[in-house]
Homo-oligomer: A and B are copies of this chain.
Amino acid sequence: MKVAVIGVGITKFGEHWDNNLRELAIEAGTKAIMDAKIRGSDIDSIYLGNMSAGRFIGQEHVAALVSGELGLSIPAIRVEGACASGGIALREGILSILSGQNDIVLVGGAEKMTDLMTDSTTTALMGAADQEWEAYYGLTFPSLYAMIARRHMFEFGTTREQMAKVAVKNHHNGSLNPAAQFNKEITIDEVLNSTMVADPLTLLDCSPITDGAAALILCKAELAKKYTDNPVYIIGSGQASDTLALHDRRSLTTLDATVKAAQVAYKQAGITVNDVDMAEVHDCFTIAEIVATEDLGFCKKGEGGKLLDEGATELNGRIPINTSGGLKAVGHPVGATGVKQAIEIVLQLRGEAEKRQIKDANIGLTHNVGGSGATAVVHVFSR
């Protein structure tokens, strides 16, 4: 499998009080079109990841909205898998090219979370969990991940300091990323002493509420050199599911969907985990990055904390994780995150990641999760 990325575009992630969803999506899409040096009319289809525009802004049918605003009349498909919507949009864009029906595809992700129409953002986000068996009983996403964290601490001795190190590292990386919502560094003490949200997770263990959009131009591999001297190729794509409800799973500390999606993607790419030079993983909460590094195989189960203690996941470490700043510092506009992750890997592989550029970047990975792990999508990128 081989599909090329020939263009990327992203808005500033943060609170956009002066821009609505369509404006954010158009900005990201237009930047990607310009980066790819194509015309809008070259695009065959649009895949847009969006989780909950219906509840956030009363607007469904957002892919057609974006297509119409771009002046196009091509197939426009919104895909949704909660916070993995962006990763799924990327995957469906890839499959549509492999199907032979499309040559060039615009893959976007967008979410406007601050214009909340009804109830609370926390309530709306619980649409990603099991409404009848989790939300109804008062669970929230911080509390779901707090249970994962407590169990991880119990089973493997993972510490609060190790979780805090995820936030500190990702804020450092985010301070080097102009698109990030937070550009400031934080300390372990600040994480540990910030407001308690769901014991043991404090405010600085949690990714924020964010508006933003991101876009990629995908192209049939054989056509890539026509548009750019510096294409990046997607060589593996895996997606897997699990029960929506956390309590239905075999384990609280492994996301089986991540394990399975990664196996599929590695096999398709013809690589092992040791070939991966860097990864953007789904750190919606600090514990989630620890669990992800284990489930993706960057260390043994239970040793995600140790990986942080060793500095292995820092910019100059053995396996840099979330060089963009992750969901934690770049922000988490839920439907856009999976596409943003891909952009970071593309920039690293092109050597355009500026102050956060890592050395010898040849193979990168993205890992996007929906809910507490009911969906996981893994992609492998290569120069």
Which residues of A line the B interface, CB within 8 A? 20, 51-55, 57-61, 63-65, 67-68, 72-82, 88, 91-92, 94-96, 98-101, 118-119, 123-124, 126-132, 135, 239-245, 248, 256-257, 260, 370-371, 374-375
Contact = CB atoms under 8 A, between A and B. Distances in A.
A61 to B, nearest CB: 4
Nearest to A48: B80
12 contacts: A60-B80, A60-B82, A60-B127, A64-B241, A64-B242, A64-B244, A68-B244, A73-B241, A77-B79, A77-B88, A77-B239, A96-B99
Given A68-B243, A79-B79, A248-B68, A59 B131 contact: yes
Given A61-B374, A132-B20, A374-B65, A75 B118 contact: no
A82 B99 contact: no
Number of copies of this protein chain within its complex: 2
Contacts of A118: 118-119
B74 A92 contact: no
A355 to B, nearest CB: 36
A95 B101 contact: yes
A271 B268 CA distance: 37
Contacts of A63: 80-81, 241
Nearest to A125: B60
A91 B92 CA distance: 11
Contacts of A61: 80-82, 127-129, 244, 370-371, 374-375
Nearest to A130: B65
B73 A256 contact: yes
A68 B241 contact: yes
Given A52-B54, A60-B80, 19 more contacts: A52-B60, A60-B127, A61-B127, A61-B370, A61-B371, A63-B241, A65-B130, A65-B244, A67-B241, A68-B243, A68-B374, A73-B242, A73-B257, A75-B241, A77-B88, A79-B79, A79-B80, A118-B118, A118-B119
A191 to B, nearest CB: 29
A77 B92 contact: yes
A84 to B, nearest CB: 9
Contacts of A241: 63-64, 67-68, 72-76
A47 to B, nearest CB: 9
B131 A76 contact: no
A375 B64 contact: yes
A81 B77 contact: yes
Contacts of A375: 61, 64, 76
B58 A126 contact: yes
Contacts of A53: 127
A107 to B, nearest CB: 14
B59 A127 contact: yes
Nearest to A127: B60
Q: Which 8 A-B pairs have the closest CB atoms?
A: A60-B127, A98-B99, A75-B239, A68-B243, A64-B374, A61-B82, A95-B99, A59-B131
A213 B106 CA distance: 31
A90 B245 CA distance: 27
A78 B77 contact: no
A208 to B, nearest CB: 20
Interface centre among A60, A88, A135 (most CB of B within 10 A): A60
